[in-house]
Amino acid sequence: MSKQSVKRFLALYFFIFFGAIFLRVDYFPFSWVPMYGYHLAGESVTVGIGDKSERERGFPAQRANGERLYISADDLNVPNANYRRLYHQRAFNNGPPQDDRERAALIAFNRWWYETLVGPDPRLDQRYHMQLLDSVNRTFGYGSDDPQRIVRLEAPLLFATFDRDSVASGDLSKPFVERRTAIITEQGGILRKGDKMIPMKTSREREVIE
């Protein structure tokens, strides 16, 4: 390549890679590098408190024929880090962070091209919990009429809620701790909070920080 060709190549290279930044593209191998950039300060901070032994035991589940079982990371043959995300996040209908931030604070042009070329905002139709149930059944090869198929999947998990003043003062000693259970059935998802049963929202901002 001559120097002139190199200059043309570099112009194209940076046009593509840095153009993706201005267009807010975040699809590998291009990115506008948002990683941990999305922060929505609320009245409180809610996080999941993991329990490795509970997670290792697996999702409490039920087959169409009524049999109860646990479905673990080993059963699904999924790495532990991914299983944790399935258990702590997807089961509770929380998507990956890129879905939360993809359409946040877009300028008009970027909103136009996203909606034209990619589709609607993923926050408007969240069915991560149903995708999880579908994945489990497809992994085991269960069809929609199979009596062996999984019709109910649960993910019990403790959640800690820290009020904003405590967080601001660094006092994390007295969070409000609540056991929540995500219950996923073929009809949809339900969140059990204490003794309340709440249908999972399919369109919302994320409540739990990850």
Partner 1 sequence: MNSPAKTRRSWVDWFFFDWHPAEALGAVRFYFGLGLAVYLYFQFDQNLKIDAFGAHFAFTRPIWYFGLLGIDTNIPWISFAVMPLLLIACLFFALGKWTKPAIIAIIIGIFYMKGVRDSFSGDVHHREIPIFAILILFLFSKCDRMFGIDARKKGWAPIEDWEASWPLRAMQIYIALFYFWALMAKVRLSGLDWFTGGGRIQEVLISRALRDGFTPTGEVVNLSLGWDLAQNPQLIWFFGALVFLFELFFPLILFVRDWRLKLVALIGAAVFHLANYFLMNVQFFLYPFVFVTFFNMAEFHRWLMGKVRLRGRKVAEA
- The answer to the question of residue 32 lying near partner 1 (CB under 8 A) is yes
- The answer to the question of residue 142 lying near partner 1 (CB under 8 A) is no
CA angle (139, 26, 204) in 5-degree steps? 70
Of 94 and 191, which has the nearer Cβ to partner 1? 94
Please count the CA atoms within 13 angstroms of the CA of 202 that sit on its side-chain side: 9
CA distance 39 to 97: 11
- The answer to the question of residue 178 lying near partner 1 (CB under 8 A) is no
Site map (CB under 8 A) of partner 1, residues 143-172, x = contact? ---------------x-x-x----xxxxxx
CB of 52 to partner 1, least distance (A): 6
Q: Residue 51 has which token pair? A: 């329990």
Q: Give the residue, chosen from 8, 15, 18, 187, that forms a contact with partner 1 under the rule CB under 8 A.
A: 18
CB of 89 to partner 1, least distance (A): 7
Q: Give the residue, chosen from 26, 121, 163, 186, that forms a contact with partner 1 under the rule CB under 8 A.
A: 26
CB 133 within 8 A of CB 153: yes
Of 101 and 123, which has the nearer Cβ to partner 1? 101
Of 47 and 64, which has the nearer Cβ to partner 1? 47
CB 155 within 8 A of CB 131: no
CA distance 122 to 125: 6
CB of 198 to partner 1, least distance (A): 22
- The answer to the question of residue 7 lying near partner 1 (CB under 8 A) is yes
Site map (CB under 8 A) of partner 1, residues 73-102, x = contact? -xxxxxxxxxxxxx-xxx----xxxx--x-
CA distance 69 to 71: 7
Give how many residues touch partner 1 by CB under 8 A: 76
CB of 116 to partner 1, least distance (A): 16
Q: Give the residue, chosen from 15, 27, 70, 113, that forms a contact with partner 1 under the rule CB under 8 A.
A: 27
CA distance 86 to 133: 10
- The DSSP string of 24-74 is T--STT-----TT------SEEEEEE--HHHHHH-EEEEETTS-EEEE-HH
